[in-house]
Protein backbone atom coordinates (compact mmCIF):
# COMPACT_ATOMS: atom_id res chain seq x y z
CA UNK A 1 0.00 0.00 0.00
CA UNK A 2 1.37 3.38 -1.02
CA UNK A 3 1.97 6.00 1.69
CA UNK A 4 0.01 8.91 0.22
CA UNK A 5 0.00 12.21 2.03
CA UNK A 6 -2.10 15.32 1.52
CA UNK A 7 -0.50 18.69 2.28
CA UNK A 8 -3.56 20.97 2.32
CA UNK A 9 -3.58 24.74 2.34
CA UNK A 10 -4.43 27.83 0.36
CA UNK A 11 -0.82 28.46 -0.74
CA UNK A 12 -1.73 32.04 -1.63
CA UNK A 13 1.08 32.40 -2.60
CA UNK A 14 3.32 29.36 -2.32
CA UNK A 15 6.25 30.41 -0.10
CA UNK A 16 9.73 29.14 0.69
CA UNK A 17 8.27 27.84 3.96
CA UNK A 18 5.81 25.64 2.05
CA UNK A 19 8.55 24.38 -0.26
CA UNK A 20 10.71 23.58 2.78
CA UNK A 21 7.98 21.42 4.35
CA UNK A 22 7.23 19.60 1.09
CA UNK A 23 10.91 18.95 0.36
CA UNK A 24 11.64 17.65 3.84
CA UNK A 25 8.57 15.38 3.72
CA UNK A 26 9.65 13.69 0.47
CA UNK A 27 11.50 10.78 2.16
CA UNK A 28 8.54 10.08 4.43
CA UNK A 29 5.90 9.35 1.80
CA UNK A 30 5.55 7.60 -1.54
CA UNK A 31 3.45 10.47 -2.86
CA UNK A 32 2.62 13.97 -1.62
CA UNK A 33 -0.46 15.65 -3.00
CA UNK A 34 -0.37 19.38 -2.39
CA UNK A 35 -4.05 20.22 -2.09
CA UNK A 36 -4.99 23.78 -2.87
CA UNK A 37 -8.13 24.16 -0.84
CA UNK A 38 -10.90 26.43 -1.99
CA UNK A 39 -12.17 28.23 1.10
CA UNK A 40 -15.38 30.11 0.34
CA UNK A 41 -14.78 32.44 3.30
CA UNK A 42 -11.45 33.65 1.85
CA UNK A 43 -10.86 35.84 -1.18
CA UNK A 44 -7.50 34.69 -2.55
CA UNK A 45 -5.05 37.09 -4.19
CA UNK A 46 -4.06 34.50 -6.81
CA UNK A 47 -6.28 32.10 -8.75
CA UNK A 48 -6.22 28.42 -7.90
CA UNK A 49 -4.92 27.77 -11.42
CA UNK A 50 -1.98 30.15 -10.86
CA UNK A 51 -1.13 28.55 -7.52
CA UNK A 52 -1.29 25.10 -9.10
CA UNK A 53 0.95 26.18 -11.98
CA UNK A 54 3.57 27.48 -9.52
CA UNK A 55 3.53 24.17 -7.68
CA UNK A 56 3.91 22.17 -10.88
CA UNK A 57 6.80 24.34 -12.04
CA UNK A 58 8.66 24.16 -8.72
CA UNK A 59 8.33 20.38 -8.45
CA UNK A 60 8.46 19.50 -12.16
CA UNK A 61 11.45 17.20 -11.55
CA UNK A 62 9.93 15.53 -8.51
CA UNK A 63 7.47 12.85 -9.72
CA UNK A 64 6.25 12.05 -6.19
CA UNK A 65 4.75 15.54 -5.76
CA UNK A 66 1.41 16.32 -7.35
CA UNK A 67 -0.90 19.29 -7.11
CA UNK A 68 -4.67 19.33 -6.94
CA UNK A 69 -7.46 21.80 -6.24
CA UNK A 70 -10.26 20.70 -3.95
CA UNK A 71 -13.31 21.98 -2.10
CA UNK A 72 -14.99 20.70 1.01
CA UNK A 73 -13.72 18.69 3.93
CA UNK A 74 -10.07 17.75 3.84
CA UNK A 75 -10.78 14.22 5.09
CA UNK A 76 -13.21 13.72 2.21
CA UNK A 77 -10.51 14.74 -0.26
CA UNK A 78 -8.09 12.38 1.50
CA UNK A 79 -10.52 9.53 0.85
CA UNK A 80 -10.78 10.57 -2.83
CA UNK A 81 -7.02 10.38 -3.33
CA UNK A 82 -6.49 7.44 -0.92
CA UNK A 83 -4.33 9.53 1.43
CA UNK A 84 -3.88 8.15 4.93
CA UNK A 85 -1.79 11.11 6.10
CA UNK A 86 -2.28 14.86 6.33
CA UNK A 87 0.89 16.94 6.48
CA UNK A 88 0.95 20.27 8.31
CA UNK A 89 3.78 22.71 8.87
CA UNK A 90 4.34 24.29 12.27
CA UNK A 91 6.22 27.56 12.75
CA UNK A 92 5.25 28.57 16.28
CA UNK A 93 3.58 27.06 19.36
CA UNK A 94 0.42 28.97 18.46
CA UNK A 95 0.39 27.15 15.09
CA UNK A 96 0.47 23.83 16.92
CA UNK A 97 -2.50 24.71 19.13
CA UNK A 98 -4.58 25.68 16.09
CA UNK A 99 -3.42 22.73 13.98
CA UNK A 100 -4.00 20.23 16.80
CA UNK A 101 -7.64 21.34 17.03
CA UNK A 102 -8.08 20.68 13.31
CA UNK A 103 -6.23 17.35 13.56
CA UNK A 104 -8.50 16.28 16.43
CA UNK A 105 -11.59 17.14 14.38
CA UNK A 106 -10.23 15.27 11.35
CA UNK A 107 -9.46 12.24 13.53
CA UNK A 108 -13.04 12.30 14.82
CA UNK A 109 -14.32 12.34 11.22
CA UNK A 110 -11.98 9.57 10.04
CA UNK A 111 -9.77 7.61 12.44
CA UNK A 112 -7.82 6.03 9.55
CA UNK A 113 -6.23 9.36 8.56
CA UNK A 114 -3.29 10.55 10.66
CA UNK A 115 -1.97 14.11 10.82
CA UNK A 116 1.80 14.55 10.72
CA UNK A 117 3.40 17.82 11.87
CA UNK A 118 6.76 19.05 10.61
CA UNK A 119 8.35 22.09 12.15
CA UNK A 120 9.64 24.64 9.70
CA UNK A 121 13.27 25.59 9.37
CA UNK A 122 13.99 28.55 11.69
CA UNK A 123 14.94 30.74 8.72
CA UNK A 124 11.37 30.39 7.42
CA UNK A 125 9.43 31.03 10.64
CA UNK A 126 8.64 34.59 9.61
CA UNK A 127 7.38 33.49 6.21
CA UNK A 128 3.58 33.57 6.15
CA UNK A 129 1.40 33.94 3.08
CA UNK A 130 -0.59 36.67 4.84
CA UNK A 131 2.54 38.77 5.34
CA UNK A 132 3.77 38.07 1.81
CA UNK A 133 0.42 39.16 0.34
CA UNK A 134 0.59 42.37 2.36
CA UNK A 135 4.10 43.08 1.05
CA UNK A 136 2.95 42.46 -2.53
CA UNK A 137 -0.22 44.60 -2.14
CA UNK A 138 1.89 47.48 -0.88
CA UNK A 139 4.48 47.32 -3.65
CA UNK A 140 7.25 45.77 -1.56
CA UNK A 141 9.80 43.17 -2.61
CA UNK A 142 8.51 39.79 -1.44
CA UNK A 143 11.16 37.80 -3.33
CA UNK A 144 13.01 37.04 -0.06
CA UNK A 145 10.07 34.84 0.95
CA UNK A 146 9.18 33.24 -2.37
CA UNK A 147 10.59 30.55 -4.64
CA UNK A 148 12.05 32.12 -7.81
CA UNK A 149 9.26 30.56 -9.91
CA UNK A 150 6.71 32.56 -7.90
CA UNK A 151 8.72 35.77 -7.47
CA UNK A 152 9.61 35.98 -11.17
CA UNK A 153 5.96 35.68 -12.21
CA UNK A 154 4.70 38.58 -10.09
pLDDT tens digit at each of 154 positions of the chain:
899 999 999 999 999 999 999 999 999 999 999 999 998 787 899 999 999 999 999 999 999 999 999 999 999 999 999 999 999 999 988 889 999 999 999 999 999 999 999 999 999 988 889 999 999 999 999 999 999 999 999 9
Q: Which domain holds residue 105?
A: 4-151
Helix (H, G, I), strand (E, B) or coil at 109: helix
Counted domains in the chain: 1
Is 41 considered catalytic here? no
Give 12's contacts (C-beta < 8 A, 6+ positions apart).
Answer: 42, 44, 45, 46, 51, 129, 133
Task: Give the whole-angstrom CA distance, residue 79 versus residue 74.
Answer: 9
Would you call the peptide bond into 15 cis, given omega within 30 degrees of 0 as the criterion? no
Q: Which of 24, 31, 42, 60 is catalytic?
A: 42
Is 18 considered catalytic here? yes
Backbone angles phi, psi at 138, to 5 degrees: -100, 15
User: Given this model, what pLDDT does residue 51 score?
Assistant: 97
Is 53 considered catalytic here? no
Is 144 considered catalytic here? no
CATH number at residue 22: 3.40.50.620
Q: Which of 47, 100, 129, 137 is catalytic?
A: 129
Amino acid sequence: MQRICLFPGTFDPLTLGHVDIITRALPLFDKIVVGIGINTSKAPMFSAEKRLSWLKEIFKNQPTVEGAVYEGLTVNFCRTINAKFILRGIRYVSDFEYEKTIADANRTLDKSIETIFLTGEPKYTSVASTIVRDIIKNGGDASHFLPPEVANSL
